[in-house]
Chains A and B, each alone.
Chain A
Amino acid sequence: MIRFARALVALLFAAPAVRAQDPALSSKLDKPTLLAVSAIIDSARAAKLPTKPLNDKALEGAATGADGPKIVAAVRQLSIRMGSARRSLNSNATPDEIKAAVDALQAGVSTRDLALVQSASGKRPVTMPLAVLTDLIGRQVPIPTATSLVLQLERAGVKDSELSLFQRNVRADIERGADPIAAATTRAKGLVQRGAPGTNKPAQ
């Protein structure tokens, strides 16, 4: 009876971990990869991290023809980065903000700068600012300059739609041959001066 009770209790605690797999994952990953990815996703769920990005990462790996170990490593790495990103943002960070923060971290932004962007944004979501920051870095704007510009724009209360336009303008300038730093700095300056009078002091 005691053995039966123990088995029942073990089953009771194991029940929450037994969940249906995403059918897309099940159909696109081989069994060992699926098991490993599922374990990482379960751990992320237990840590209250968003799990869809992990699911998407595994599907991306399958779509690109990556082998199982590579997919597992990428999913695990993403899970670790999401943990770092969430610690840098506030506890109410949305999955989209965490995804954007992961990209920024991978581009080389420090967790401290992530927290600064979060702080400068106040209650506004940081998804767009972080996406623009990542893009600037990808277009050869040095990380300290890109971070400083995004902080200025956030402190000036620039809207997401204006940030999106800023990103497109900087890209166009660079594609036309402009120096990335000059393009980003000039466009940011114009936005700050136009967007929020009195808040256009350069960030330190």
Chain B
Amino acid sequence: MPDNDDLKIKNIANELRRPVRVSAALDANIMRAIRELPRHARASLWSRLTTPRRVTIMPLSWGVLAASLAVFAILGAAHAYQDVHRAAAPIAKALFPKSNKPQAAQRVQFVLVAPDAKKVAVVGDFNGWDASHADFQATHNGGVWSVTAKVPVGHHRYSFLVDDSLWVADPSAPRAADNDFGVPNSAIVVQSQE
């Protein structure tokens, strides 16, 4: 029996080893058949967006997404709280003044002798360098221009703006060293009333 089986296997092997004749037109026939198949249309952006598709998401991803959104919301709330708190602080101070706390602002008189001036304004850190600020427009009496306005406690730099064009340091105040823009500045240190 074993010899009989060996013979059969040998015959099968010989048969498999025999070269097969393939028609020379086979490749061409196959390629022609492929070309005749309908082409896949390139999906448009709209169809890609609107065609339902199945998405697989790991459960862990939902956890990451939820945690990220939570942190984002907490940060946003913290910033909003800081802004509200910062904005509310002066109001709170005004509503509930404490006698032992420094006052937020003091009235300061600015004086400039400028007999030929037509207009004098005080411009500085305390009014956002806004020459049109209504509280800092000086009035004059015989060429002595003055304005008294509330200035926050602290260190400020400022200057007089004469006739909207000439910058003049306050001759009666300490000079500020910096002159970055070619404008002479004065310094004022406003202190709380003791």
- Give me the interface of A with B, judged by CB distance under 8 Å: 1, 5, 8-9, 11-12, 15-16, 19, 24, 52-53, 56-57, 59-64, 66, 70, 74, 77-78, 95-97, 99-100, 102-104, 106-107, 127-128, 131-132, 134-135, 137-139, 160-161, 164, 167-168, 171
Contact = CB atoms under 8 A, between A and B. Distances in A.
A74 B69 CA distance: 40
Interface stretch (B17-25, B30-38, B135-143, B171-179): B171-179
A63 B183 CA distance: 10
B72 A60 contact: no
B163 interface: no
B71 interface: yes
A106 B128 contact: no
Interface stretch (B3-11, B57-65, B111-119): B57-65
A73 to B, nearest CB: 8
A77 B65 CA distance: 42
Contacts, number: 112
B131 A63 contact: yes
B90 interface: no
A160 B128 contact: no
Contacts of A1: 57-58, 61
A16 B75 contact: yes
A64 to B, nearest CB: 4
A59 B187 CA distance: 16
Contacts of B191: 128, 160-161
B65 to A, nearest CB: 7
Nearest to B154: A96
Nearest to B123: A63
Contact of B181 (A11, A60, A128, A135): A60
B182 interface: yes
A103 B176 contact: yes
Nearest to A175: B171
A16 B65 CA distance: 19
Given A103-B178, A171-B172, 5 more contacts: A12-B75, A78-B178, A78-B180, A128-B191, A138-B177
A132 B174 CA distance: 7
B172 A168 contact: yes
Contacts of B180: 57, 60-61, 66, 70, 74, 77-78
A164 B182 CA distance: 26
B97 interface: no
Interface in B142-194: 154-155, 157, 167, 172, 174-178, 180-183, 187, 189, 191
B129 interface: yes
Nearest to B183: A64
Nearest to B155: A96
B64 to A, nearest CB: 6
